[in-house]
Amino acid sequence: MQSNSFELLSTGDDEKEIDITQPPRTNPISRKLPSKYWVLRLLLATLSFCVVQLNVASLLSCNENSIYGCTPQFSVQTYEDSKFSNSCISMIQDALSLVSFVATDFTGDSMDNDSKVAIIDTLSSENIFNVNFNGYCRFNYGTKLQKCHKSHLEIISCWTLDVGLQLGAVSNRSEIVGESFVSTYGTVLRSLNDLYISGQKEEEDNSSQVLDMSTLQMIRMLNITDLFTKILSSISKISVHLSFLVMIYSILLFIKPIQTIILQLLIFCDILLCLQIILNSVMWISVLIYINKFEQIFNRFDFATIKLSTGFILTILNAIILFILVLLTIKLHQEKSKRHPHN
């Protein structure tokens, strides 16, 4: 006997015919409510986009190509009323003014003496250097002008580059002279570092010591700092690239044809996020150590002030968001397990 797909439902005097093959009706309001899985994907995409923006702003800014202006990790300004600062600045400017005379003579450009002296104002108290992992900006309070250049997170190297760029302006070869100054500075550091190592060997051999080891030890510290800040520059770029990969992954989660495959790669998203947290932690801890070390040196000679700035705050904020992203991926793992228990 063929079964009938319709049944009669008795409700008092009325009888209604119901099709039992049709699925039960659901509340239309509940259909409009987004699922937990969809909300998690949206949060992942939104926060990963925020991480990219924070990374670019806090790690790649403070150079001539920056789209976010300058959000420095720290800022440095020399003291105006410091005797050591003034004597040091005067001595450096006198020496560089002499060099500027020579540079002008070679190029044949005519400049008066005042212009030549004024051309080198790197260590003026009117300047504040905003330094980041991949560049610096020199803002002058007098002229209200800001000039930014590619460099790395090392203030002495930034000063050296700035001096070379200003001196190069005399011969209209700013970039070449600036790079030459930085290259020379690095060569001198390495040479003096080798001298420090040979001095240590003399101490071990108990031979007569003719080297000022305390001075050479400071030079060695500068050499190590210069090398490590160059490594930090590379780390910051790697961190930015990793954040772009996470953002791309979060966007791919919304593409239905490949959604299942992308979900299987969720563990790689976790790895990328953990790597970013590690790199981010290395960077902000390194900045704190750097600030503490140079603050002691500057205070010892009453030379300059150094303090943390907005980029460092953004780096910390970035670390917090990365931690939240890890928690979101854990929730996504749980939702994936519910939807695909055998995967």
**For residue range 181-219, what is the model confidence (pLDDT) as tens digits?**
676 766 766 666 666 566 666 555 555 455 555 666 777
Considering 68-82, 97-111, 112-126, 319-333, the range whose residues carry the highest mean pLDDT is: 319-333
- The pLDDT mean for the chain works out to 77
Strand arrangement, sheet containing 127-132 = 146-150, 135-140, 127-132, 74-78, 304-308
Which residues have C-beta within 8 Å of that of residue 30, sequence separation ≥ 6? Answer: none
**pTM value > 0.85:** no
Phi-psi region of 62 (alpha: psi -120 to 50; beta: other; left: phi over 0): left
Q: Is the pLDDT of residue 152 over 80?
A: yes
Span 32-52, mean pLDDT? 83
Q: Which of 266, 244, 247 is nearest to 37 (CA)?
A: 266
Domain extent listing, the chain: 37-59+73-332
Q: What is the pLDDT of residue 284?
A: 92
Please identify which residue in the block is written with the tokens 């700092």.
Answer: 225
Which of 3-17, 85-99, 231-245, 320-334 is least confident? 3-17
**For residue range 231-280, what is the model confidence (pLDDT) as tens digits?**
999 999 999 999 999 999 999 988 888 877 888 888 899 999 999 999 99
* Higher-confidence position of 308 and 33: 308
Angle at 71 between CA 280 and CA 282, to 5 degrees: 15
CA atoms within 13 A on the CB side of 99: 16
